[in-house]
Structure 1
Amino acid sequence: MVFRSFYPGLLVFLISGTPIMGWTLDGPIPYGVQHWEIQNGLPQNSVSHITQDREGYMWLATEEGLVQFDGIDFHVYDRSAVKLMDHNDVVQLVADPQSGVWFSLVTGTILRFSRGQFSAHAPFPNPDGNRQNRLTVTREGQLFAADQRGLFRLDESGWTTLFEPSFGETPAVVADADSRVWVGQGKSVYVWDAEKQTIDTFSIPYPGAQGSILRLVWAEDRLAVATSQGLYWVMSDGTVLPDQRISTAVRDVHQDTVGTLWVAQDQLCAVQIHEIEVNPTSRKVLSPTALFEDREGQIWVGTSGHGLFKFSGASFVSFGEDQGLAAHPMTVLAGAQDQLIAFNRAGTGFRAQGGRFIPFLKTPNGLEVTALLAETDRVWTGTRNGLWVWQQAKGWESISLPLASAFIRVLYSDPSGKIWVGSDSDGVACVSPGALWVAERSGLRDCQVRDLIRDQEGTLWAATYQGLFCYRNQAWLKWETPFKSLYFRKLLVDARGRIWVGFYGGGLALVSPTPVQRSTREGFPTEVVYNLVPDRHGGLWFNGNKAFYRVDLDALAAHFLGQQPLPPIDVFRYADGLDSVESFGFNPSAFRDAKGRIWFATLKGISVVDPQVNKRETLAPPIRIDHVFVDGKAWNSDEPLRLGPNVRRLDIHFVGLSFIDPTGIRYRTRLTGYDENWQESGSSRKVSFTNLPAGHYLFEAVAARGNSDWSSQPAQLAFRVIPPIWERNPIRFLILVCFALLIYAIFRLRTFQITKQKMELARQVREKTAEILDMQDNLMAVSHRAGMAEVAGEFLHTLGNQLNSMLVSFSLLREHVDQGPNPHIRRVFERIKMEPTNPEILDKSEQYLDRVLQNWATGLEREMGEFQTNIQKLCELMVAQEKFATGEDVLSPFLLDELIRDILGLLNGILQKQSIEVELDLPPMPLLGEKHHWSHILLHLFRNACEALAEVDRPRRLRVEAKRDGNQAEIVIEDNGPGFKPEISAALFRQGFSTKPGGAGLGLHYCANMLQKMGASIQAENRPQGSGARFVIQLSC
């Protein structure tokens, strides 16, 4: 598409040869123009008729088919797509109030399109098959057709002939606001009044030869007659008046809603406002054939061979070569005393004069101007080759700067008249006024300076590609900010003293009062900001490298301070009158003039916007379901949409029907029954659904444009996905019954199998139980034998000790007998023999013999007592062993306390060897039970205690206590050994578990199992006081 500017209040004649500028600096805002041709989607470049249906689509009559246009896409209907069409050449079309479009073909065939369907209705009476006709529709939707024979009306019964004046050529026809039908041919205009059933005739007063009526147009309260001899008016009183200003052929005419009369002449499209004198313009639209105004006030122009045009009120005025600018991109522009000065890339300076731009200045050697400062009597230019100043009397003068870089990026004049110069790579210099300009280095060495500005407190700020700096106390200080981008590009101090900075890659930031940055990641529309220009109405205008923007400045500041969401931002592109949306970004490339208009330098010229008269459409556009495709095939039917179970993909195309910047329309969609939330679609006009489950659905789409709300009436499409046969209720019920029967059969079979398995399992359990019981009996027998072996070992050990003691006693006794008193008696006798008569010796001998015999008798008695004691112990040991060894599995009465003492007696050797102190608290406790099992249990417990005590170095104690309370008794066996971990107390009595390395884990299991069989129980715990284990046996006695 090609976008230009066109201007209301002007008429262009075929004979006009001198173009006149149609817009001055004080002129009105022009029309923006869009242009479409074959390369833009039109099937053919001739458009003979244009209309708009009730839903909002534009319809075009071309020689290659009927065209539907939604603002972006052209949909062509021709013979290859529509069977009812017998030719592609559409000669006329009209829209009816029922959302249908009637059109006639070159063959005379009349068809209607409505809701995606074509219909023929009653065939138009055309016996020759080559008579073209013209169509019109009244407010009530009544269709009329006129051909060379006369006027016809389509009724329920078919076509009715109203009158037949036998026109010599195909007439023009139109219905007025009162549903009267006007027919024009040659020099006559007929009006048929259905209510009065009358026909009136009016004659066109051609000035010379016979003329032809080309088009009839009803304009408010009068009829416009476009003829080959000019424009005529049939007034409400029946007077026919020629329009003296237009005397050449008129193809079409239209008076728009604001009173502008648009006239299409043989070769040019013209515009006239009321009675203003006709003036030509430089903008030409060749061979116009059709004019139409859509519901948004835009004028559409069809041409013969030159495509389709659309004229719309644009926000921007764009100036290019047609207005005197050379074919070079504009780099900078500025203003002084309401005088606009701009330079292009070739170094040519322009200013506005007489409604055009004229060149008035050329830089030395055509230097490209990269910075500009316009004063009353001087023009300062920064170039890639230093700083230059132009004065009317002196011409160009080069200013020497103490900078290593000759590339000047920015010029700024402070209130004192000093000129601050920012360079590309060597910071800032200051040029002081006077008879001779004196330049001094200011600082910021090695910095690329992109902008300079002074805040309300008088502080000078510099935006550089190395950061943000401020000039205080004759020194530049770097302003530390949290901003992610270092490419500071443009500065602005607004009326409230807030400092803003635009980035080259980083969006926009508020520097003070609080540093906040916003880029596209946070929803800001652009990463690049070349200019920041506030208008007089609270708006901020800025541009980047892809569009121009406007936003409410206070609302934007509130957003940056976290007080509200991002406000709506208006986006301006080609459809808004811009020839280009890009600029070089040199400084300055935008400014606001004394009248409040904002000017921008672009790659294709200069664009200006007047914020005071700029109004953007804020109403949400109507939205329609455009096309529906089921598995790639178009669906067109008035019947409800039903999707079979084999449908894999559903594509729904929708469109917001607005022709004011249709590319800026945003969409939301929702599929109720699948997802209840609205989904953002951006500018996409299509959604696809795949493999939808069976059910009822409602698809909805809404549209919004710019700052508008979303559509209050969404486009809707209800449809149903039919379930496959196996998902339908009767089949589901049948399947459910069959499934239930199958489940029942499986249940019965499984029950039988389970019963059989249970019987087999019971048999196996019995066998395994018997095996386990046998194994347990064997283990018990092993344990019993192990216990017997332990008892036997202890018995033999004790027996050996006793026999050894007896042997020692017997040896001592024998030695004592052998050492009897005989030696002492012989010595006494020998002494008496020596002095037989000495009485003193006899007395001493007697006393001595008494002492010797007495001592010998005493020692003999002692040794005999010791020997007797050992014999008694041996007898007791034999008795105890006999008691332990002769036990049987029969109940017998015995004293449990005596049994405990007997067992401890058997272990006496171990107790003495380990220095174990035994404490007994055993009252008499008769018991009826299996004595030998109790013997084994107690022996296991005592031996375990001895083995545990062997691991400690402290004094070892074993305490046995028995208590009785009625028929209940309790035996407590505790030691002060190491004890055991509490978490293994439950496992101590489990078969195979042992705390001893290499232990079989049978002893305690045997004890617990046997006690359980005898109606008793045993528990293991650590001693409550100190270390050691404690076993408690509870029994009935």
Structure 2
Amino acid sequence: MSRLQNGVVESLSLGSEWVPYDLEEDRDGTLWVVGRGVWRMEEGELVREARFSDVVEARFAHEASNGDLWIGTRRGLYRRRQGAWRRYTLDDGLMSEHFVSVYEDARGVLFFGTHGGGLHRFEEERFFVYTRDHGLPGEGIWRILEDDLGFVWMSSDQGIYRMARSDLDGIAAGTRARLDALVLTETDGMPSAECSSGSPGGWKMQDGTLWFPTIKGPAIIDPSTFSLNERPPPVRIKRVMADGEALALDGTASIAPDARMVEIHYAALSYVASEKNRYRYRLEGYDRDWIEADRRRFATYTNLPPGTYTFRVVAANNDGIWNEAGATYQFRVSASWYELWWLRVLGALLAGGIFAFMVYYRKKWREARETARALRKEQERTVAQSRQLAEQAQRLQEIDRFKSRFFTNLSHEFRTPITLIHALVDDLLAERAGTLSEEARSQLEVVCRNTRRLEHLVDQLLDL
């Protein structure tokens, strides 16, 4: 790298393998140099920025309108705000960490081109990524320029893309689904479709023309004189084949159930750069979404299930003007005998009956098992109760025997002395031992009566 100062050219050496890619002077007058590492000019000397390793290859430096400094590298996107650096990677919603170019519009919206990761838009502290799913022709963006007519131009290794700025805004806002992109290649006069990814990869001149370097020289575009093919191309179904056999194009064709492959060929009847015509198609009843066919002019389906299908195809001309009505073709795939609806219904009923029987059998089996389990528990409880009753009966018998022995012994023990007493009293009353006084006789009669009473009670106890 060389510096011209006071009419003197001075060479600044930063190593034999060090090649600067971009220079940027910020609002503070600091010159930033990026390449294999990031450097800044301080007091006439280049000082390496400590945040970056010398193995980090930086591709551009750009100071945004709000004062942020952006540096794109092969390992992510860096932003410097108020002296603090922040690195953006895949974890922040990026589709690639290899950044190549940057463009800022008048509103402060930033667009970043990547190597294989699509076009990144940064607005209100949020990234939005345009990819092929949004209609971007390619996902490698080398340079981004905006003309004075509301179009954004991007260079790539497949040509130069042009799309309306309003389309880009609509997709980011969610009000539009796809981009209508124009692709310029050698057929439009470019020396080569492969553009250069160096810095800068393009430039907008004061007269409004856009210059893009290619591997075979510059491509110069004047947007004000650029003609637009505004006629939507008519679309026709050219040929339909089922396993190599042509089908009729009128009416609803019938395809045999054993057909393995169906091919539908179509074409857009636009012959201005017809190689740039683009297509998308959808088989209603089979495809959930539209299939982007790009420049391919046929669709192939294999092993389609029985049913009636409608094939729809739409096309865009070389300038991206779409014929949304397109062309349609209806056909029916017949069912094999084992695919007939009544046979399927019968099979479903049979399977349902078997399933219902199995459910019923399983239910009854569970009920029987639960009943057997309940009976077993009841039997076990009955046996336990019987055993308990038997034990209680045995204890009662023992108690009865004990009671009998007790009362028997007790009765005999009482009866013997009572009998002796009664006999002695009878002898005394009979005056065998001598004459009794009236008072003694009266007392002995009382004793005699009570002994008889005791004998009667003992007899009752023995009976019990």
Please give the TM-score of this superposition, normalised by the length of structure 1: 0.33
Alignment match of 1:477 (pick from 79, 85, 94): 85
| Alignment match, 1:492 | 103
- Once the two structures are superposed, the pairs formed by residues 257-276 of structure 1 within 5 Å of their partners are none
User: What SS class does the counterpart of residue 710 from structure 1 fall into?
Assistant: strand
Measured after TM superposition, the shift of residue 793 of structure 1 is 7.7
| Distance in 2 of aligned mates of 1:678 and 1:463 | 36
| Distance in 2 of aligned mates of 1:690 and 1:561 | 38
Alignment match of 1:507 (pick from 85, 93, 118): 118
Q: Structure 1 vs Structure 2: percent identity of aligned residues?
A: 22
Measured after TM superposition, the shift of residue 466 of structure 1 is 4.6
Measured after TM superposition, the shift of residue 867 of structure 1 is 4.4
| Alignment match, 2:71 | 462
Number of equivalences: 405
Q: Which amino acid aligns with 2:12?
A: I
User: What SS class does the counterpart of residue 701 from structure 1 fall into?
Assistant: strand
| Alignment match, 1:429 | 40
Alignment match of 2:2 (pick from 388, 397, 404): 388
User: What SS class does the counterpart of residue 421 from structure 2 fall into?
Assistant: coil
- Once the two structures are superposed, the pairs formed by residues 799-814 of structure 1 within 5 Å of their partners are 800=401, 803-804=404-405, 806-814=407-415
Measured after TM superposition, the shift of residue 411 of structure 1 is 1.5
Measured after TM superposition, the shift of residue 536 of structure 1 is 1.8
| Distance in 2 of aligned mates of 1:458 and 1:470 | 10
- Indicate if the aligned counterparts of 1:816 and 1:860 stay in contact, CA closer than 8 A: no
User: What SS class does the counterpart of residue 501 from structure 1 fall into?
Assistant: strand
- Indicate if the aligned counterparts of 2:144 and 2:154 stay in contact, CA closer than 8 A: yes
| Distance in 1 of aligned mates of 2:335 and 2:45 | 89
- Once the two structures are superposed, the pairs formed by residues 528-547 of structure 1 within 5 Å of their partners are 528-547=140-159
| Alignment match, 1:590 | 202
- Indicate if the aligned counterparts of 2:118 and 2:131 stay in contact, CA closer than 8 A: yes
| Distance in 2 of aligned mates of 1:522 and 1:796 | 98
Instruction: State whether structure 2 residue 421 is matched by structure 1 residue 820.
Output: yes
Q: Which amino acid aligns with 2:323?
A: W
| Alignment match, 1:871 | 463
| Alignment match, 1:658 | 270
Q: Which amino acid aligns with 2:264?
A: I
| Distance in 2 of aligned mates of 1:537 and 1:601 | 22
Instruction: State whether structure 2 residue 316 is matched by structure 1 residue 712.
Output: no
Q: In the superposition, relative to structure 1, how do residues 689 and 520 fare at CA in structure 2: closer, same or farther (>3 Å)? A: closer
Instruction: State whether structure 2 residue 51 is matched by structure 1 residue 444.
Output: yes
Q: Which amino acid aligns with 1:576?
A: D
Larger radius of gyration: 1
- Indicate if the aligned counterparts of 1:669 and 1:702 stay in contact, CA closer than 8 A: no
- Once the two structures are superposed, the pairs formed by residues 308-387 of structure 1 within 5 Å of their partners are 387=1
| Distance in 1 of aligned mates of 2:311 and 2:76 | 52
| Distance in 2 of aligned mates of 1:491 and 1:507 | 13
Measured after TM superposition, the shift of residue 592 of structure 1 is 0.7
- Once the two structures are superposed, the pairs formed by residues 541-560 of structure 1 within 5 Å of their partners are 541-560=153-172
| Distance in 2 of aligned mates of 1:561 and 1:724 | 49
Q: Return 5+ residue gaps in structure 2 as ranges.
A: 343-382, 428-432
- Taking only aligned residues, the RMSD between alpha carbons, in angstroms, comes to 5.0
Q: Which amino acid aligns with 2:201?
A: S
Q: Deviations over 1:134-164 (max 9, x none)?
A: xxxxxxxxxxxxxxxxxxxxxxxxxxxxxxx
Q: In the superposition, relative to structure 1, how do residues 588 and 869 fare at CA in structure 2: closer, same or farther (>3 Å)? A: same
Q: Deviations over 1:58-99 (max 9, x none)?
A: xxxxxxxxxxxxxxxxxxxxxxxxxxxxxxxxxxxxxxxxxx
| Distance in 2 of aligned mates of 1:534 and 1:414 | 22
Q: In the superposition, relative to structure 1, how do residues 857 and 527 fare at CA in structure 2: closer, same or farther (>3 Å)? A: farther
- Indicate if the aligned counterparts of 1:821 and 1:853 stay in contact, CA closer than 8 A: no
Q: Return 5+ residue gaps in structure 1 as ranges.
A: 1-386, 733-782, 827-831, 837-841, 873-1037
User: What SS class does the counterpart of residue 612 from structure 1 fall into?
Assistant: helix
Q: Deviations over 1:902-924 (max 9, x none)?
A: xxxxxxxxxxxxxxxxxxxxxxx
- Indicate if the aligned counterparts of 1:429 and 1:440 stay in contact, CA closer than 8 A: yes
Q: In the superposition, relative to structure 1, how do residues 864 and 703 fare at CA in structure 2: closer, same or farther (>3 Å)? A: farther
Please give the TM-score of this superposition, normalised by the length of structure 2: 0.67
Alignment match of 1:617 (pick from 229, 240, 244): 229
Alignment match of 2:216 (pick from 579, 604, 607): 604
Q: In the superposition, relative to structure 1, how do residues 646 and 400 fare at CA in structure 2: closer, same or farther (>3 Å)? A: closer
| Alignment match, 1:24 | none
- Indicate if the aligned counterparts of 2:103 and 2:112 stay in contact, CA closer than 8 A: yes
Instruction: State whether structure 2 residue 241 is matched by structure 1 residue 629.
Output: yes
- Indicate if the aligned counterparts of 2:59 and 2:72 stay in contact, CA closer than 8 A: yes
| Distance in 2 of aligned mates of 1:824 and 1:528 | 145
Measured after TM superposition, the shift of residue 564 of structure 1 is 4.5
Q: Which amino acid aligns with 1:388?
A: S
Measured after TM superposition, the shift of residue 709 of structure 1 is 3.2
Measured after TM superposition, the shift of residue 428 of structure 1 is 1.9
Q: Deviations over 1:993-1020 (max 9, x none)?
A: xxxxxxxxxxxxxxxxxxxxxxxxxxxx
| Alignment match, 1:408 | 20
Q: Which amino acid aligns with 1:493?
A: E
Q: In the superposition, relative to structure 1, how do residues 815 and 546 fare at CA in structure 2: closer, same or farther (>3 Å)? A: farther
| Distance in 1 of aligned mates of 2:21 and 2:454 | 134
User: What SS class does the counterpart of residue 500 from structure 1 fall into?
Assistant: strand
Q: In the superposition, relative to structure 1, how do residues 524 and 850 fare at CA in structure 2: closer, same or farther (>3 Å)? A: farther
| Alignment match, 2:364 | none
| Alignment match, 2:430 | none
- Indicate if the aligned counterparts of 1:400 and 1:439 stay in contact, CA closer than 8 A: no
Instruction: State whether structure 2 residue 177 is matched by structure 1 residue 570.
Output: no
| Distance in 2 of aligned mates of 1:719 and 1:469 | 56
- Indicate if the aligned counterparts of 1:507 and 1:524 stay in contact, CA closer than 8 A: no
- Indicate if the aligned counterparts of 2:113 and 2:120 stay in contact, CA closer than 8 A: yes
More helix by share: 2
- Indicate if the aligned counterparts of 1:453 and 1:491 stay in contact, CA closer than 8 A: yes
| Distance in 2 of aligned mates of 1:567 and 1:460 | 30
- Indicate if the aligned counterparts of 1:576 and 1:661 stay in contact, CA closer than 8 A: no
| Distance in 2 of aligned mates of 1:478 and 1:440 | 20
| Distance in 1 of aligned mates of 2:422 and 2:462 | 26
Measured after TM superposition, the shift of residue 561 of structure 1 is 4.5
